[in-house]
Amino acid sequence: MPKKKKTTNKSQWKNAAWEGRFSEAADRDAAAFTTSFAFDRVLFPYDIQGSIVHTEGLARAGLLTASEKRSLISGLKKIDKEMRAETEAGLANRMLVDEDIHMHIERRLVEKIGAVGGKLHTGRSRNDQVALDLRLYLRDETKRTLEMIDLLQRSLVLRAEAEIETCLPGYTHLQRAQPVSLAHHLLAYFEMLERDFGRFEDSLVRLDESPLGAGALAGNSFGIDRMANARALGFSTVTANSIDTVCDRDFVIEYLGASATLMMHLSRWAEDWILWASTEFGFIELPDRLSTGSSMMPQKKNPDILELIRGKTGRVYGNLMRLLTLLKGLPLSYNRDLQEDKEALFDTVETVKSSLWMMLRLTNEVEFKRARMEAAANEGLLLATDLADYLVTQGLPFRQAHRVVGKIVAQSIKTGQAIQEWTLPTFQGFSPLFKADLYDRLTLKGALQKKGGIGGTATRSIKSALRKIKKRW
């Protein structure tokens, strides 16, 4: 039986920021359990950005000499360069010697410029520091998300413009319902993304407040100009209440909520295309380079990217519920539970960006099988509603028209003869209101062009929608 490893109380990091209060070093297990450096390191550019602005604010308040200010800013810029080089070299987490990114930067600063580095934390707590870092990070990532949604929308518009005349079945209950233009179908995804775009864009309004200067929870005691610091960081204003500031994560929840809705839309879209790529539908051909095969069945071509987008949607939902659950019982103000917000956020950001990117690749490169789509639209009884609409134009109330056409459908199924092949006398046997112009409605093109109102599938409606979309850009 192997011997148990001997435990030790040796601290994982030597100089904890609070060591003056304690008589013994942090237990190694406790230190490992509480560290966040492995994942919050991603915040380093924002921590350094905020620290430089805070340094300038300390100097304006007369708390630093010009020489000390220069030394601090120079040291911070060197750390920024050092950490970027570590990231590029893949050495980001080679040593977990600090509790979090904030203490790592402070420790490195003191090592580089001496004791004056300890002045950086004057009038600032890690509580308002991390709130600032998260807002700066999320502001950048929200803008990147918006850019990627926009790229995907533009791709949809380009594909839609080329497919206005392509017809396929529209579905309800996953049953063929009425013929629609492929362009119209693609623009449905565009509208989903447009609402997503609005949600992310709107969240930037509430992100536009600087928490710097809120301190641990009660503000700062040094007369630091919060508004000047806020403007230097690109914020329009500052948060209004220091207690709320340090424990507010609504802005993270907003991003996660908008992401959950976006992923739901991408998942529905992915589900459509997974079906369309199947032999049973045969509406699309995915590029080989964006598909996978089977380790056992040589004939297989699998839509794994689409399936993963569908699967990753649940992951984003989980991250949203994780943070909502985290926050629901927290008393004011800051609690260490909030350390658990970051992994959920960082994971969601990367999941959303990668899903948008892969959906963009697929949209750009997918091949639409136009002939198969049109053949499917011509099969069955997709024009039954148009027959009912025709009778309505002849003066018959819709409910009666529906009943008449229901009998026509039953007869078509019974005889196996498509209604497009029926003679006029056969139709008139069901209603004398049928006239020769009926046959103008019994074509895919004729059926589509009748749907010419705003939001319809007629060519003129689609072109009008495209013009309006392009005006937004």
Task: Count other Cβ atoms within 10 Å, centred on residue 287.
Answer: 12
Judge whether 328 lies within some domain: yes
Which of 375, 396, 430 represents a domain boundary (last residue)?
Answer: 375
Whether residue 5 lies inside any domain: the answer is: no
Do the domain assignments include residue 407? yes
**What confidence score (pLDDT) does residue 344 get?**
97
> Are residues 85 and 154 located together in one domain of the fold?
no
303 close to 215: Cβ distance less than 8 angstroms: no
Do 283 and 187 fall within a single domain? yes
Q: Do residue 329 and residue 404 come from a single domain?
A: no
Q: Which candidate, 218, 139, 217, 235, places its Cα nearest to that of 226?
A: 235
Task: Count CB atoms within 10 A of the CB of residue 249.
Answer: 18
394 and 253 assigned to the same domain = no
CATH number at residue 426: 1.10.40.30
pLDDT of residue 379: 86
Q: Are residues 85 and 201 in the same domain?
A: no
Say how far apart CA 388 and CA 399 lie, in whole Å. Answer: 9
Mention every residue, 6+ apart, whose C-beta is less than 8 A from residue 154.
Answer: 473
**Residue 15: its pLDDT value, please?**
53
- Per the CB < 8 A criterion, the answer to whether 210 and 195 are in contact is no
Instruction: Please indicate, yes or no, if residue 335 is contained in any of the structural domains.
Output: yes
Q: With contact defined as beta carbons under 8 Å apart, do 200 and 104 qualify?
A: no
CATH number at residue 51: 1.10.275.10
C-beta separation of 265 from 252 below 8 A: no
Q: What is the pTM of this model?
A: 0.92
> What's the structural domain count of the chain?
3
**378-387 in b/e burial notation, b at 16+ Cβ within 10 A?**
bebebbbbbb
Q: Which tokens belong to 382?
A: 């997709």
- Could you write out the three-class secondary structure of the chain? CCCCCCCCCCCCCCCCCCHHHCCCCCCHHHHHHHCCHHHHHHHHHHHHHHHHHHHHHHHHCCCCCHHHHHHHHHHHHHHHHHHHHHHHCCCCCCCCCCCCHHHHHHHHHHHHHCHHHHHHHCCCCHHHHHHHHHHHHHHHHHHHHHHHHHHHHHHHHHHHHCCCCCEEEEEECCEEEEEEEHHHHHHHHHHHHHHHHHHHHHHHHHHCEECCCCCCCCCCCCCCCHHHHHHHCCCCEECCCHHHHHHCCHHHHHHHHHHHHHHHHHHHHHHHHHHHCCCCCCCEECCHHHCECCCCCCCCCECHHHHHHHHHHHHHHHHHHHHHHHHCCCCCCCCHHHHHHHHHHHHHHHHHHHHHHHHHHHHHHCEECHHHHHHHHHCCCCCHHHHHHHHHHCCCCHHHHHHHHHHHHHHHHHHCCCHHHCCHHHHHCCCCCCCHHHHHCCCHHHHHHCCCCCCCCCHHHHHHHHHHHHHHC
> Rounded to whole angstroms, how far apart are CA atoms 331 and 226?
26
Q: Which of 104, 122, 140 is the last residue of a domain?
A: 122
- Is residue 10 a part of any domain in this protein? no
Q: Are residues 195 and 329 in the same domain?
A: yes
Q: What is the largest CA-CA distance in the chain?
A: 102
389 and 255 in a common domain: no
In the chain, the amino acid numbered 83 is M
**Do 326 and 415 reside in the same domain of the chain?**
no
431 assigned to active site: no
* pLDDT for position 24: 77
- The verdict on 68 and 172 lying in the same domain is no
Q: What is the pLDDT of residue 93?
A: 58
**pLDDT value of residue 296:** 92
Burial of 28 (0-12, 13-18, 19+ CB in 10 A): middle
Question: What are the 10-residue block averages of pLDDT along the chain, 473 residues in total?
Answer: 46 56 77 84 96 98 98 98 89 69 94 96 97 98 98 98 98 96 98 98 98 97 96 98 98 98 98 98 96 90 96 98 97 96 97 98 98 93 94 97 96 94 96 94 92 96 96 85
Residues 259 and 404 in one domain: no
Contact between 236 and 279 under an 8 Å Cβ cutoff? The reply is no
Residue 324 sits in the same domain as residue 447: no
Active site residue: 74, 236, 278, 294, which one? Answer: 294
Q: Does the annotation count 294 as an active-site position?
A: yes
Backbone angles phi, psi at 345, to 5 degrees: -70, -50
Please tell me the distance from the alpha carbon of residue 37 to that of residue 44, in angstroms, as a whole number.
10
* 386 located within any domain: yes
Q: Determine the pLDDT at residue 441.
A: 86
What's residue 5's pLDDT? Answer: 47
103, 122, 141 — which closes off a domain? 122
Residues 67 and 143 placed together within one structural domain of the fold: no
**Would you put residue 62 in left (φ > 0), alpha (ψ -120 to 50) or beta?**
left
Q: Which of 23, 173, 221, 295 is catalytic?
A: 173
Range of the domain at 62: 26-122
> The domain that contains 207 carries what CATH number?
1.20.200.10
CA distance 382 to 177: 6
13 belongs to a structural domain: no
Is 18 inside any structural domain?
A: no
In whole angstroms, give the CA distance from residue 48 to residue 42.
Answer: 12
